């Protein structure tokens, strides 16, 4: 799981929808009290921005004409984590030739 936190207009369909699912997975972990320290240590998520990021992704999903019907239920809000957007942009470009075209 990872929060890319790059402009979703630059992401391919696969990565856009994948990050959206992962925001739901992070939210479920928070609700269930699952430890996310490894994701925090590796700068893969900003827990305090999960809802905001989900909503940004959902708007892009709908802008592209895809259906979005999944409300994000976070439970409690936690202020922790940092995502290096610049490093993630480089990594996304490395991983996917469809992104960033």
pLDDT tens for each residue of 34-64 = 999 999 999 999 999 999 999 999 999 999 9
Whether pLDDT at 79 is above 80: no
Residue with tokens 């790059």, as numbered in its chain: 6
Confidence band of 2 (pLDDT split at 50, 70, 90): very high
Query: How far is residue 47's CA from residue 60's CA, in Å, rounded to a whole number?
Result: 21
Contacts of 61 (CB under 8 A, 6+ apart): 16, 17, 20, 67, 68
Q: What number is the average pLDDT over the span 5-10?
A: 94
Q: Helices 13-32 and 50-63 sit at what angle, rounded to 10 degrees?
A: 150
Q: Is the confidence at residue 100, as pLDDT, over 70? A: no
For residue 80, name the pLDDT band (cuts at 50, 70, 90). confident
The helix (run of H) or strand (run of E) holding residue 42 is none
């Amino acid at each position: 799981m990872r929060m890319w936190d790059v402009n979703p207009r630059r992401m391919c369909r696969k990565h856009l929808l994948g990050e959206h699912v992962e925001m739901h997975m992070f939210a479920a972990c928070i609700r269930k009290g699952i430890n996310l320290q490894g994701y925090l240590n590796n700068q893969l998520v900003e827990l305090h921005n999960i809802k905001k990021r989900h909503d940004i992704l959902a708007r892009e999903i709908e802008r592209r004409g895809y259906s979005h019907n999944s409300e994000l239920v976070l439970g409690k809000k936690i202020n922790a984590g940092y995502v290096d957007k610049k490093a993630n942009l480089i990594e996304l470009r490395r991983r996917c030739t469809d992104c960033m075209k």
